[in-house]
Amino acid sequence: MSTLVTLDWIVIAGYFVIIGLIAWWASRRLENTTDYFLAGRNVGFFAVGCSLLASNVGSEHIVGLAGQGATTGMAMAHWELHAWIMVLLAYFFVPFYYRSGVFTVPEFLERRFDTRARWILSIVSLTAYVLTKVSVTVYAGALVFQTLLPDTFGSPEAAFWVGAISTVLVTGLYTIFGGMRAVIYTESMQTVIFLVGSAFITFFGLAKLGGWGELQSVLRENSTQFALWRPLSDPEFPWLGVMIASPIVGIWYWCTDQYIVQRTLAARDLATARRGALFGGVLKVAPIFIFLVPGMIGYALHQKGLISIPLKAGVEGTVLHGDQVFPTLVTSLLPAGFRGLVVSCLMAALMSSLASLFNSAATLFTKDIYEKLQPGRTEKHLVNVGRFATGVVVLLGILWIPVMARVSGGGLYQYLQSVQGYLAPPITAVFLLGLAWPRINAEGAVWGLSVGFALGLIKLTLQTFFGAGKIENPAFLASIADFNFLYATGILFAICAMLVVAVSLATKPPAPEKVDGLTYGSMRAKAREELDASWDTGNKILTGVVLSLVLGVYLYFSFWLN
């Protein structure tokens, strides 16, 4: 039987009514591709910041981070403290994207290098969206439906698929018809919902456990497992590997991924775009306290016998089923009405991330692939192509879901970070070197991207099929598969960076007009004045707030179990 009562369903219905009204309002004002893909470039900083967080936080965050909190403690907090990287986005990257007037990040790459670089990044990005973000987000959300509504649709398996497909279809519909404006303004409301809803998990969990001090007391019994910093001998999260890989993935995700950058391109001016990125950085610290900490609370409650989290077979025996921690907390802790709010919170996170993905994928396909193959098409035609592309991404994401159970053996969130760790190095290397050094040319960029993606795909494929508990022979393939994903990310980045530099130096330098205004050293005086003016007092204050929050969290959780 369902764990939701009438009051919960009323709350959920209210959520869908509000989403529908916002989407309807936004869809009335679509006249061209700028409206459809970039919301008319007229969005304020609050909506940009909320959209950045909502795009980042999907159901895989809520479900996956709670699971990681229960099984690996604060190890994944380093990825949530990427708020400092959003300062880099605002200060270094946004000015180049915004001033160039591009629709997509691959389009910017074409201006800096050539068409080949644009094609490579577009195709890899679209593939990554289907293999990681769409499927992981939907899979995580469906797990919660399976737990909360096990018998509502006949069986838990039926609840899984009804939850997955219905949420995807609803999100796909308002994204197809409302475009970026519908996405951004629904995300502003959804951000508030999932921040408030998830905070109730923390509140009720601590209340049942006996407070923050009791949480620390339980976790100290196994402090190594829950510490922010792990020793170099740790097989999963050695501190050196974290320090190497986390910034590489963070710079790719927050500073070069179309999925994120597109939000800043929708701002009404450069100062607003930068302020929106910084405001998103302030919000980005919240997931540690409302997603990761509840997972640790769930572990403590389970250890004290106050709740029962399902178990699963692990490498060293039976372990907690991390991806069932969040659903168990919802069913065990929350009173009527609050369960409906948290289910709405989960759907808000799921739908906001999916909407961002659908719109970004449609933008990439339409502007970077279709328009290149079919130039001269009308604005109305391109908007319709974007809508069709959205539908295709929806279908492909659903088809990939059955693979997720096999691939995500270490937990959804860890799976996502490991895959991103193999995609990020070539992109991060090309962008950092390309913006910093005018001597980097198109040949170096293309070689770096191509070889980097090929090596990353090889590692991902081996990790999926080979290693301990999978195919263990030949041994050298199994050893590559089991090689720590954090160190693998660093090695991939070093290979790509050296290749980009070596090939660039071995071939002709780019023409001066090719790099004019597209690297730090080639910006003209007028452009520098514009940049200085957009980095106003408000943006400087927000920068201080973001960095202070990150530093404070690092300092506290580095010693909280001592």
Q: What is the pLDDT along the chain (562 residues), one digit of tens a residue?
A: 456 778 888 888 888 788 778 777 766 665 556 666 555 567 788 888 988 888 787 766 777 788 888 888 898 889 889 999 999 999 988 888 877 777 788 888 888 898 899 888 888 887 777 766 776 777 766 776 776 676 677 777 787 777 777 777 777 776 766 666 677 777 777 788 778 878 888 999 999 999 999 999 999 988 888 889 988 888 888 999 999 999 998 999 899 988 788 888 888 888 999 999 999 999 999 889 988 999 999 999 998 988 888 877 665 667 778 778 888 888 888 888 888 877 777 777 777 777 777 777 777 888 788 888 888 788 778 878 877 887 787 777 677 666 655 555 445 555 666 777 888 899 999 999 998 888 999 999 999 999 999 998 888 888 878 877 778 888 888 888 888 888 999 999 999 999 999 999 999 999 888 888 778 777 666 667 777 888 889 899 999 999 999 999 999 999 998 8
pLDDT at 1: 40
Residue 395: alpha-carbon gap to chain centroid: 20
C-alpha–C-alpha distance, residues 42 and 467, integer Å: 50
Residue 149: alpha-carbon gap to chain centroid: 27
C-alpha–C-alpha distance, residues 520 and 517, integer Å: 7
Residue 1 lies in a domain: no
> Minimal CA–CA distance to 209: which of 289, 140, 109, 304?
304
Beta-bridged to residue 507, according to DSSP, are: none
Residues with Cβ < 8 Å from 531, sequence gap 6 or more?
95, 270, 523
Residue 439 lies in a domain: yes
Helix (H, G, I), strand (E, B) or coil at 30: coil
pLDDT at 452: 93
How many domains, the chain?
1
pLDDT at 487: 92
What would the DSSP string read from start to end of 440-469?
Answer: --HHHHHHHHHHHHHHHHHHHHHHHHBSTT
Q: Which two tokens stand for residue 559?
A: 């010693």
Residue position matching structure tokens 């039987």:
1
C-alpha–C-alpha distance, residues 488 and 250, integer Å: 15
Residue 324 lies in a domain: yes
Residue 309 lies in a domain: yes
Kindly calculate the radius of gyration of the chain based on its CA atoms and give it in whole angstroms: 23
C-alpha–C-alpha distance, residues 37 and 467, integer Å: 43
pLDDT at 37: 58
pTM for this one? 0.84
The residue range of the domain holding 464 is 6-559
pLDDT at 526: 65
Contact 468, 136 (CB under 8 A): no
| Residue 512, domain CATH | 1.20.1730.10
509: which DSSP letter? P
C-alpha–C-alpha distance, residues 327 and 330, integer Å: 5
